Amino acid sequence: MQRLTRNAMLIALAGATAFGGWQLLRGRGVPVEAFVPPAPAVRAATVERREIADRVEALGTTSSWESIEVRPTVTEFVSEIHFTDGQAVTRGDALATLAQQEESAQLDEARAYLDEQLREVRRIEGLVARKSLPQSQLDERRTLRDIALARLAAAQAALADRTIRAPFTGLLGLRNVSPGALVTPETVITTLDDVATLRLDFTVPSALLSRLRTGDAVTAASPAFEGREFSATVTGIDSRVNPVDRSLTVRARIDNADLALRPGMLLTLVLEHHPRTALVVPEEALVHYQRSHFVLVVDGADGNRLVRREVTLGARIPGSAEILSGLEEGELVVVEGLTTARPGQQVRILAPPHAESPP
């Protein structure tokens, strides 16, 4: 009891001393504002409206845009090989030549037969014009001419089958046969891949189906090329959803003109979809309480007084957050000084870092 009485006396004495000191200073002309604590200093950011997009991170696998196994269409011996392992070829380049002596002879025979039929057609056309032969004989000869043309086309096709050419521009794989080997339609001579353009297949949750569009931007990266990013564009969305994990396969196209990437690589990627214009604030401006989100708005019309306002958040983007409701474009929100600033206080706005003059 005596201790409580003593503490009360000390508190009263301290208050009287402070009051007396304040009265003394006031009597000496010191203004009352000198005893008012200064307004806390904060940094503020402007609520901006800019283009944003939702981001989805995934893993994808590359594959050739076009890829084939080079095989012959006939059974024949290999006469020549015209490529080396890993060679780049263009469409129409000869890759291998098969034995074709018999086909060359058949082509010469077909040409000779066609020449004979053409001469006969011209001779009979003159006789029919002079009424020396009936029209029926000219029709028969023209039929033989058409047969000769078809025979020539068949001989040319048979000869062309003995020269294996690249159907598109790409990069060859390893050579699997040698000159003199007997090949069949089951023999894989080599592989051909169009690696200047790659497919990038990856899966996303099927819940994104309504928001995905062809043309969405994709940014990919590989541990093999640290610090480098590859741009891709969504070209197709699978028509079926995987019933096991409810995922959806998406395909993007990567331009690989420098041939840095190869088929079968695993890439980490970021898919940007649902582009839109939205209000955005820095993440530092947000104050979270349970499931609610707040910001401190600087009311310039009321002497930079702080107003706490609840906001509704949308997507999160690196360093910023989308505001669906609660703020207007151009308003100022506190981003530094939230630990000392309180709603209802008047604050001083500090200049942004490295700024020459305060706003």
Q: Has residue 299 got a pLDDT over 60?
A: yes
CB of 70 within 8 A of CB of 189? Answer: yes
SS (H, E, C) 74-98: CCEEEEEECCCCCCEECCCCEEEEE
Place of tokens 């309504």: 210
Pick from 121-130, 201-210, 335-344, 346-355: least confident: 346-355
Q: With left for phi above 0 and alpha for psi between -120 and 50, is residue 76 left, alpha or beta? A: beta
**What's the CATH number of domain 41-52+277-349, 3.50.50.60, 3.30.1490.20, 1.10.15.40, 2.40.420.20?**
2.40.420.20
Global pTM reads: 0.61
Q: Cβ of 245: how many Cβ atoms within 10 Å?
A: 10
**Where residue 290 falls among pLDDT bands split at 50, 70, 90?**
confident
Closest CA to 322 of 286, 268, 346: 286
Residue 303, pLDDT > 90, answer no
| Average pLDDT across the chain, whole number | 85
**Percent of the chain whose predicted confidence (pLDDT) is above 70:** 87
Mean pLDDT of 15-22: 48
Separation between Cα atoms, residue 206 and residue 210, nearest integer Å? 9
Comma-separated ranges of CATH 2.40.30.170 domains in the chain: 55-65+194-275
Architecture of domain 55-65+194-275: Beta Barrel (2.40)
Non-local (6+) Cβ contacts of 150 within 8 A are none
Among 46, 49, 48, 50, smallest CA distance to 333 is for 46
In this structure, of 35-44, 242-251, 318-327, the range with the lowest mean pLDDT score is 35-44
Least confident of 37-51, 77-91, 218-232, 264-278: 37-51
Instruction: For residue 194, give the nearest of 111, 255, 124 by alpha carbon.
Output: 255
> Which of 114, 119, 125, 193 lies closest to 155, judged by CA?
114
Residue 34 pLDDT > 80: no
CA 110 to CA 141: how far, in whole Å?
A: 16
Handedness of CA 81, 86, 88, 90 (dihedral sign): positive
Residue ranges, comma separated, of all CATH 2.40.420.20 domains in the chain are 41-52+277-349
pLDDT of 22 strictly over 70: no
- Asked if the model's pLDDT at residue 78 lies above 80, the reply is yes
